[in-house]
Amino acid sequence: MNTDGDPTGAQSTADVDGARFLRDFAALSLIGRSAGGGVDREAATVADHESRAWWSGWLEANGFDVRIDQIGNVFGLHCFVPGAPYVLLGSHLDSQPLAGRFDGAYGVLAAGHAARAVADRVAMDEIVPTVNVAVVDWFNEEGSRFSPSMMGSSVATGKLALADALTITDAAGITVAEALTPDATFESPLEVGNYAEIHIEQGRILEDSGATIGLVDGTWAASKYVVRVHGDQAHTGATIMADRHDALYGAALTVVAARELTNRVAAGKLHTAVSTMRVLPNSPVTIARFAEFNLDLRSADEAVLEEANRLLEEEFARIETTARVTIERTLTHEWGLRSYTPAGVALATSAAEAAGLPASRILTVAGHDSTNMKDVVPTVMLFIPSIEGISHNEKEDSTDADSVAGMTMLAEVASRLVQGELWHGERYVLPTTVV
Amino acid sequence: MNTDGDPTGAQSTADVDGARFLRDFAALSLIGRSAGGGVDREAATVADHESRAWWSGWLEANGFDVRIDQIGNVFGLHCFVPGAPYVLLGSHLDSQPLAGRFDGAYGVLAAGHAARAVADRVAMDEIVPTVNVAVVDWFNEEGSRFSPSMMGSSVATGKLALADALTITDAAGITVAEALTPDATFESPLEVGNYAEIHIEQGRILEDSGATIGLVDGTWAASKYVVRVHGDQAHTGATIMADRHDALYGAALTVVAARELTNRVAAGKLHTAVSTMRVLPNSPVTIARFAEFNLDLRSADEAVLEEANRLLEEEFARIETTARVTIERTLTHEWGLRSYTPAGVALATSAAEAAGLPASRILTVAGHDSTNMKDVVPTVMLFIPSIEGISHNEKEDSTDADSVAGMTMLAEVASRLVQGELWHGERYVLPTTVV
């Protein structure tokens, strides 16, 4: 295409970068492609290994030094100032089963392109770096095959011990260490000064508001449980109803109660979910003695979350009586409303203005690798719009224009970060890069 | 112990037989013994193979000719009248996971002891046989590992094709043929004239009524479904509640609705159950796109069952709207109230009187191998009491006195059967014994 405003007839740098980005993203999206047009790349499966290999090849072809740490995070390093720490940009290439192309992978590739753009600007003396730039594919952000989620960034930020992570098993009993066979290649520890990440929103707030960029200033509060219902085995036919202690009935009442909690608080204020179910003995003629499932409560309002937890306790007591079961609940994760550093939001706001991109502040409901990284270094988190808010689904999508705009925005943020705008001397050493 | 009425001080034959039976039953119950005092012998597992081997050894030691058919049913034959058909007595040695010692195995061992007692009476010229006696351990009555249940007797009665049964897989993808490695040993087809089975009741009717023997005169009516709920994947946190199509929520509403149907008809008239659940993708951060489970309705009143099916249809429609899912249901089994032959019930009634055992008529809610056999030859079905009606549970139990009484009762019934009391020339040839 010719750009009217350019008398030479050459394409603008931005257009060329955008076309290259979309071409690379289309290639990456072929790895683990699912029949429904999404991807299926659970952590350390063949498809995930292929996407990690593709990423290593892309990094090498684009002038990065490739390094892998002990939990399988794949880094690309670009050193401008020897001895200075790195601005790290990244996200994750793994996916949920039958998921969309954008969730994670978009942010990894945008990080690669943004870092390359920063390196070009440094090479052309457009900017003067005070720190270096690196990019990363965090291992197993999704947590569907190996729980917990955000595994790579949790180990890298010291929230999960490496040895514990490597021995976690999938449903088939395969450990992370066996599935990953990590081959750590760092020669010296990686010191990080700042982190930035861009991700598809997974909701419809940006689409509804017309903004192209979401400036994430905080996370929803959440309470996450594992619930175990204990009943007693019985015959599905012969045992009279009054004699039953049916664990699956108790589980079903809990799933329904969790869902209906959302109707008992102000509309839209509470999100709840149960999405897994394990039943024993899972026989067509034996009443379940045991059922186990996850149960999440999330809200942007801590008072609503507290009320939901209180109502849930009442429901548990009611269900124990109704189904004649006992319910054991373990609170596995709990956090309040957490902020991203306001200085990072200010930097991103300024960057969006400079890039001419309409942006608005937003909270993230979902967890991201940045929610780990923000606890160790000043961090910037950005969103691009999701079409209809569809997420964890093959139909997840965003427009080409928004995809390119996000990459441009991340390059603008990264340019500011390598010039030290958000760096005040922090040096976080990733423990996974220290042998 | 001395029997006061016996001046020689010798134990009575009945006492000796009872003690032998209980000793053998204790030995059999050690195979696949579970920590909670029950057994875990799913079909064609190591424990089931061990119990089948033990049974073959017991049969050989007690003078039976052992034969195995093509679906792994293990027979012991005692021929009195060459060319005449066999009275067959039996039940099953396989169990549900973590099940009781009695369910099935009691009936197999009682059949062995009863047939031996019959052979003794023939040898002592106490009775004159017109037909022969055989005993059987039917393969995979429980159906928990390989579905459907009552597999061995279904194949033997022509209700399930042998080739289809052998290719059925368990959850790990292992076929029946692989797990069973049957080694058929019949030299000539087995012709059956009558069948009799004794089983633990699995309910509390006999216990409550004070009867020792249940004379089964019919089966409850039943409708059995496989239900599949189709939703759409979404993020458990980020997706707003109104946008969700949650298959597990739809499944949970159905489990609750099925249970609550029992409160909408006359008390005790309807038994319902859901006891399995499979969810996809079963990820802690992705709303389920799919859920699959069994759903059974059973009643002794066909009008109640019809009403329950009608109410269930209304519930499906309501749940499809509430959870924004589609529900696909397949009626996999359906039967009305079915009778055992009245002549068999009359024979058993007379036998109980002769043995001095308090007996009462009863329906069976659960299916048994006899429910297959009764469709091909005149059949007698008997129960002994269950303590508290506990079934499909390690705590399942019956008293020693009732166990021995049941064996005595079955021997009395078998004695009458080998004398041709219920035989009118029927010769059913088991297809699995024809090569």
Mean pLDDT, residues B265-280 taken together: 96
**B31 has a pLDDT exceeding 60:** yes
Q: B276 vs A255: CB contact, 8 Å cut-off?
A: no
pLDDT number for residue B17: 86
How near does any CA of chain A get to the CA of B137, in Å? 20
**B182 has a pLDDT exceeding 90:** no
Mean pLDDT, residues A78-101 taken together: 97
How near does any CA of chain B get to the CA of A275, in Å? 5
What does the alpha-carbon distance between residue B254 and residue B259 come to, in Å, rounded to a whole number?
A: 8
Residue of A220, A192, A208, A237 lying closest to A376 (CA atoms) = A192
What 8-state DSSP symbol labels residue A360? E
Residue A328 φ/ψ, nearest 5 degrees? -110, 125
- At A197, the amino acid letter reads E
Q: Of A202, A238, A390, which is closest to B202 when you measure between CB atoms?
A: A238
**B8 has a pLDDT exceeding 60:** no
What does the alpha-carbon distance between residue B415 and residue B428 come to, in Å, rounded to a whole number?
A: 20
List pLDDT tens digits, range B334-347.
989 999 999 999 99
**A11 has a pLDDT exceeding 60:** no
How near does any CA of chain A get to the CA of B269, in Å? 10
Map tokens 């010798």 to a residue.
Answer: B10
- Helix H or strand E segment including A20: helix A13-28
Contact call for residues A123 and A116 (beta carbons, < 8 A) = no
Grade residue B213 by pLDDT with cuts at 50, 70 and 90.
Answer: very high
HEC states along chain B?
A: CCCCCCCCCCCCHHHHHHHHHHHHHHHHCCCCECCCCCECCCCCCHHHHHHHHHHHHHHHHCCCEEEECCCCCEEEEECCCCCCCEEEEEECCCCCCCECCCCCHHHHHHHHHHHHHHHHHHHCCCCCCCCEEEEEECCCCCCCCCCCCCHHHHHHCCCCCHHHHHCCECCCCCEHHHHHCCCCCCCCCCEEEEEEEEEECCCCHHHHHCCCEEEEEEECEEEEEEEEEECECEECCCCCHHHCECHHHHHHHHHHHHHHHCCCCCCCCEEEECCCCEEECCECCEECCEEEEEEEEEECCHHHHHHHHHHHHHHHHHHHHHHCCEEEEEEEEEECCEECCHHHHHHHHHHHHHHCCCEEEEEECCCCHHHHHCCCCCEEEEEECCHHHCCCCCCCCCCHHHHHHHHHHHHHHHHHHHCCCCCCCCCEECHHHCC
| CA distances from residue B394 to A234, B36, B287, B358, B410 in whole angstroms, order as listed | 10, 6, 35, 27, 25
Residue of B nearest to A394 (CA): B233
| Structure tokens, A191 | 């010191």
List pLDDT tens digits, range A330-368.
999 898 999 999 999 999 999 999 999 999 999 999 999
User: Would you call A229 helix, strand, or coil by DSSP?
Assistant: strand
Give the mutation candidate from A235, A270, A332 for the B interface (greatest B CB count, under 10 A). A235
Distance of CA A240 to the CA centre of its chain: 48
Q: Of A234, A281, A393, which is closest to B233 when you measure between CB atoms?
A: A393
pLDDT number for residue A4: 40
Name chain A contacts of B294, Cβ cutoff 8 Å: 284
What does the alpha-carbon distance between residue B298 and residue B221 come to, in Å, rounded to a whole number?
A: 6
List pLDDT tens digits, range B396-419.
999 999 999 999 999 999 999 999
pLDDT number for residue B434: 85
User: Would you call A9 helix, strand, or coil by DSSP?
Assistant: coil
Grade residue B1 by pLDDT with cuts at 50, 70 and 90.
Answer: very low
What does the alpha-carbon distance between residue A423 and residue A428 come to, in Å, rounded to a whole number?
A: 12
Whole-number mean pLDDT of chain A? 94
Give the mutation candidate from B392, B394, B396 for the A interface (greatest A CB count, under 10 A). B392
List pLDDT tens digits, range B41-92.
999 999 999 999 999 999 999 999 999 999 999 999 999 999 999 999 999 9
Residue of B131, B17, B188 lying closest to B427 (CA atoms) = B131
- Residue A362, number of CB atoms within 10 A of its CB: 21
Name chain A contacts of B99, Cβ cutoff 8 Å: 233, 286
What does DSSP say about strands B86-91 and B132-137: parallel, antiparallel, or unpaired? parallel
| CA distances from residue A47 to A34, A41, A181 in whole angstroms, order as listed | 11, 5, 15
Q: B98 vs A392: CB contact, 8 Å cut-off?
A: no
Q: A204 vs B243: CB contact, 8 Å cut-off?
A: yes
- At B337, the amino acid letter reads L
Mean pLDDT, residues B159-176 taken together: 96
Q: Of A96, A236, A390, which is closest to B273 when you measure between CB atoms?
A: A236
What does the alpha-carbon distance between residue B316 and residue B261 come to, in Å, rounded to a whole number?
A: 12
| Structure tokens, B377 | 């030859």
Contact call for residues B104 and B91 (beta carbons, < 8 A) = yes
Mean pLDDT, residues A187-206 taken together: 96
Please give the interface size between A and B, counted as residue pairs whose CB atoms are below 8 Å apart. Answer: 252
DSSP letters for A307-322: HHHHHHHHHHHHHHHH
pLDDT number for residue A12: 65
Q: Of B99, B220, B252, which is closest to A255 when you measure between CB atoms?
A: B252
pLDDT number for residue B6: 42
For residue B236, how many C-alpha atoms fall within 13 Å in the half-sphere facing its CB? Answer: 29
Contact call for residues A238 and B202 (beta carbons, < 8 A) = yes
Mean pLDDT, residues B286-296 taken together: 98
Grade residue A411 by pLDDT with cuts at 50, 70 and 90.
Answer: very high
Q: Of A240, A246, A284, which is closest to B389 when you measure between CB atoms?
A: A240
**B10 has a pLDDT exceeding 50:** no
Q: Of A97, A283, A394, which is closest to B276 when you measure between CB atoms?
A: A283
Give the mutation candidate from A42, A230, A236 for the B interface (greatest B CB count, under 10 A). A236
| Structure tokens, B194 | 């009558």
What does the alpha-carbon distance between residue A407 and residue A117 come to, in Å, rounded to a whole number?
A: 10
CA A11, A16, A17, A19 torsion: positive or negative?
positive
Name chain A contacts of B280, Cβ cutoff 8 Å: 97
Tell me the domains of chain B and their CATH numbers: 13-220+338-433 (3.40.630.10), 221-335 (3.30.70.360)
List pLDDT tens digits, range B325-382.
999 999 998 989 999 999 999 999 999 999 999 999 999 999 999 999 999 999 999 9
Whole-number mean pLDDT of chain B? 94
Mean pLDDT, residues B152-163 taken together: 96
Cα three-residue angle A237-A241-A247, rounded to 5 degrees: 90
Grade residue B12 by pLDDT with cuts at 50, 70 and 90.
Answer: low
Residue of A nearest to B273 (CA): A236
List pLDDT tens digits, range A415-434.
999 999 999 999 999 999 88
How near does any CA of chain A get to the CA of B388, in Å? 9
Q: Among residues of chain B, what percentage have pLDDT more than 90?
A: 92
